[in-house]
Amino acid sequence: MDFNISNSLKHLPEQFFARLASDVQYYVHKGYDVINLGQGNPDQPTPDHIVKAMQRAAANPEFHKYSPFGGQPFLKEAVCEFYEREYGVTLDPDEEVAILIGAKHGLVELPQALLNPGDTVLVPDPGYPDYWSGIALAQANMEMMPLLKENDYLPDYHTIPETVKHRAKMIFLNYPNNPTGATASPDFFQETVRFARKYELCVVHDFAYGAIGFDGVKPPSFLETDGAKEVGIDVYTLSKTYNMAGWRIAFAVGNKSVVSALNLLQDHLHCSVFSAIQEAARVALTGSQQCVKELRQMYEKRRNILIEAAKNIGWHADAPKGSFFAWLPVPEGYTSESLSREILEKAHVAFAPGKGFGKHGEGFVRAGLLTEEHRIKEAIQRIEELNIF
């Protein structure tokens, strides 16, 4: 007997990253050496001191019980210490911190926690496709905000129709940005606070790549902006900063009402993350940050190698200012999908086609800086032999 899926699941968008992974695995299973620049999965191991903290914590029988609803107090306090140290932002651990099973979990849950069917959400285009999933599950509507090169991949609030602004209840932002590698300035975040106040919007700032800024510039937290906690939150993950992607640990911080709604929904879905992982996360946030500095330097070096190697074969792209992605233009005669497909089929190098991130992603492909330097060079060498550029 087969049972029909719910209408909510029927309205979910295609899982873009699952399809991308499937395309790569097809060639891997055929025996090809694929250089995968399409992924967003950190390739470095979790720092040793964090792993050892987890090993010790896993042996603690107190952590074998259910974790407290809402997360361990010691992790919430560590989050507050981290934000005070890194961004000068003071947080209340009891009311302004929500522990998440990975940032994706929170980003998909937030529309369900705050929106009603038919509500409108402002969404960046191009942007992280899983924003769309949470909005679909909440039966809300999306209005796309184009991120254009000429505006440094920042949304232009002045171009949004007034009727849309008044309907909107939430806005998603993400800086440093996936997929473009752009960063936001304090001035832009100040404009965002004014915009959100005027139209009573909840700002959800996806700060996944907050630790990865280049050329000596540290990406700002949205919460550093005066008045930001009145209108929104940061969602921060340990996946990128500490190479803890598989550990599934993150947090949302900021507006008390948003944190409360998120915690309420999570109370009905699960208890919390395994306490040993929360202890390892505490050590990551409060211990030495030398590993973060070294990781950032590694990504910057990889960025420089990719951009220079691409330039040498006639593929000219702007160097990203943050994140671990580069946003490369598609040459004339190709779409983002046709270019990605040809390079995968003939050179066995995988990129993420820009169209998968939204209508305005067309004309670009995304490259992840998530493989060794010699493999990045080899990838460009393989592409050079195709005589596309």
Name the pLDDT band for 100 (thresholds 50, 70, 90).
very high
- Tens of pLDDT, residues 289-324: 999 999 999 999 999 999 999 999 999 999 999 999
With vertex at residue 328, the alpha carbon angle to CA 359 and CA 221, rounded to the nearest 5 degrees, is 75
Residue 116 tokens read as: 């009603």
According to DSSP, the β-strands at 141-146 and 349-350 are: unpaired
- Average pLDDT for 172-178: 98
Is residue 53 predicted with pLDDT exceeding 80?
A: yes
CATH class entry, domain 7-46+290-384: alpha beta
- Tens of pLDDT, residues 266-287: 999 988 899 999 999 999 999 9
Residue type, 298: M
CATH class entry, domain 48-286: alpha beta
SS3 content of the chain, % helix, strand, coil (to 5): 50, 15, 35
pTM: 0.96
Indicate where the chain has its CATH 3.40.640.10 domain(s).
48-286
Question: What is the enclosing helix (H) or strand (E) of 254?
Answer: strand 250-254
Indicate where the chain has its CATH 3.90.1150.10 domain(s).
7-46+290-384
Residue 264: predicted pLDDT: 96
- Tens of pLDDT, residues 60-75: 999 999 999 999 999 9
Question: What is the enclosing helix (H) or strand (E) of 192?
Answer: helix 186-199
- Average pLDDT for 184-195: 98
- Average pLDDT for 16-35: 86
CA torsion angle for 211, 217, 221, 226 (degrees, to 10)? 160
Name the pLDDT band for 153 (thresholds 50, 70, 90).
very high
* Radius of gyration, alpha carbons of the chain: 21
Residue 83: predicted pLDDT: 98
With vertex at residue 278, the alpha carbon angle to CA 272 and CA 282, rounded to the nearest 5 degrees, is 145
Residue 225: predicted pLDDT: 98
Residue 294: predicted pLDDT: 98
- Tens of pLDDT, residues 236-269: 999 999 999 999 999 999 999 999 999 999 999 9
Is residue 32 predicted with pLDDT exceeding 80?
A: yes
- Average pLDDT for 54-62: 98
